[in-house]
């Protein structure tokens, strides 16, 4: 890896604001998703499960009240005091960590005897639930079914994936912001710090330059052929008000490159500069 030596005549393309804002947008997205996945796995889905099972106790209370055919208030309170919210066997894995797993039916059910008597068991239970959920700042609507242990585990897996993507994006952002592509009269200096002399370049693939701002340079390093990329969207940009640094660097390299240029013809086929010259020669022969 060669160290870049700057000079007054050197063209330098630094990381662009386009790349910076794009990377920051990705970091924001991954961080938001990471937080949401962790929140759902640790608290959100568990709280919704508790919500579901406590609501189920109110529904069951309404049914039981109807079956008991208008019990007196004392009998109803004694009945409710012996009841527990029914949780599944894996409750510890799907409910909030501080949940009381032998949770009795809420006191509001026992104290709601008057409501149940006035408007009926199930209708009364729905009214009691609405009041209770409001006090607990829960929605009166519940999930169709509880979240299983596997679903909660998925949130932590997703949290890990988005966290990893955040770390990878941050790594590339920091690495790229410390890099640049430059060129002088002798060579191109890649973002990896490699000096590529114009005399070592053998092919210049410019097919994606006009559409994506990407050009590939193939060069010789000893007996091995290697490849370097000029990415004008990441380094330099094309803003006229900034002097179109990427376009200037591209033109600078093209003017000093003596090898094969790979480009598109109008019909979309690949064509090199050698092919173009050969085609002109054939046309001249035909005209003679």
**pLDDT tens per residue, range 45-59:** 999 999 999 999 999
Residues 6+ apart with CB under 8 A from 163: 30, 34
pLDDT at 33 over 60: yes
- Which position has the token pair 């609507």? 141
Beta-ladder partners of 218: 203, 227
**The predicted structure's pLDDT at residue 199:** 94
**The predicted structure's pLDDT at residue 281:** 36
- Determine the average pLDDT of the residues in 7-26: 90
**The predicted structure's pLDDT at residue 234:** 95
- Which position has the token pair 């309170």? 77
Beta-ladder partners of 74: none
Residues 6+ apart with CB under 8 A from 72: none
Average pLDDT, the chain: 89
**The predicted structure's pLDDT at residue 265:** 55
In this structure, is the dihedral angle defined by the CA atoms of residues 269, 275, 276 and 278, taken in order, positive or negative? negative
Q: How far apart are CA 146 and CA 139, in angstroms?
A: 15
Determine how β-strand 201-205 pairs with β-strand 260-264.
parallel
Confidence band for 2, pLDDT divided at 50, 70 and 90? very low
pLDDT at 280 over 50: no
pLDDT at 271 over 60: no
Spell out the domain ranges in the chain: 20-155, 181-287
**The predicted structure's pLDDT at residue 272:** 46
Share of the chain above pLDDT 70, in %: 89
This prediction's pTM = 0.75
Q: What are the start-end ranges of the E strands in 37-184?
A: 181-183
**The predicted structure's pLDDT at residue 8:** 60
pLDDT at 270 over 90: no
Q: How far apart are CA 104 and CA 60, in angstroms?
A: 13
Q: Which pair of tokens denotes residue 97?
A: 């960590």
DSSP class of residue 199 equals G
pLDDT at 1 over 50: no
- Determine the average pLDDT of the residues in 118-126: 92
Specify the higher pLDDT residue, 208 or 278.
208
List pLDDT tens digits, range 59-101: 999 999 999 987 899 999 999 999 999 999 999 999 999 999 9
Give Cα 182 to chain centroid, integer Å.
32
List pLDDT tens digits, range 218-256: 999 988 999 999 999 999 999 888 889 999 999 999 999
Specify the higher pLDDT residue, 112 or 278.
112
């Amino acid at each position: 890896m060669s160290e870049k030596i700057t000079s007054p005549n050197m063209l330098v393309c630094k990381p662009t604001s386009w790349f910076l804002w794009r990377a920051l947008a990705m970091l924001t997205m991954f961080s938001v998703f990471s937080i949401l996945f962790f929140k759902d796995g640790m608290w959100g889905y568990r709280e919704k499960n508790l919500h579901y099972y406590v609501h189920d106790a109110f529904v069951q209370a309404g049914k039981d009240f109807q079956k008991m055919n208008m019990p007196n208030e004392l009998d109803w309170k004694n009945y409710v005091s012996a009841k527990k919210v029914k949780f599944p066997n894996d409750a510890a894995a799907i409910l909030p960590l501080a949940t009381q797993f032998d949770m009795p039916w809420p006191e509001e059910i026992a104290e709601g005897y008057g409501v149940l008597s006035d408007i009926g068991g199930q209708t009364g239970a729905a009214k009691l639930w609405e009041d209770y959920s409001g006090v607990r700042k829960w929605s009166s609507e519940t999930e169709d079914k509880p979240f299983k242990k596997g679903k909660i585990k998925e949130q932590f897996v997703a949290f890990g994936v988005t966290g990893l993507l955040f770390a990878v994006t941050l790594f590339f952002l920091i690495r790229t912001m410390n890099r640049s592509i430059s060129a002088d009269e002798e060579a191109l200096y890649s973002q990896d710090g490699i000096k590529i002399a114009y005399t070592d370049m053998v092919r210049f693939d410019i097919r994606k330059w006009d559409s994506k701002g990407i050009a590939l340079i193939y060069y010789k390093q000893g007996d091995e052929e290697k490849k370097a990329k000029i990415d004008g969207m990441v380094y330099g940009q094309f803003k006229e008000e900034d002097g179109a640094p990427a376009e200037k660097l591209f033109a600078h390299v093209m003017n000093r490159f003596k090898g094969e240029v790979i480009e598109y013809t109008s019909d979309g086929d690949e064509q090199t500069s050698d092919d173009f010259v050969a085609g002109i020669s054939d046309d001249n022969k035909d005209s003679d």
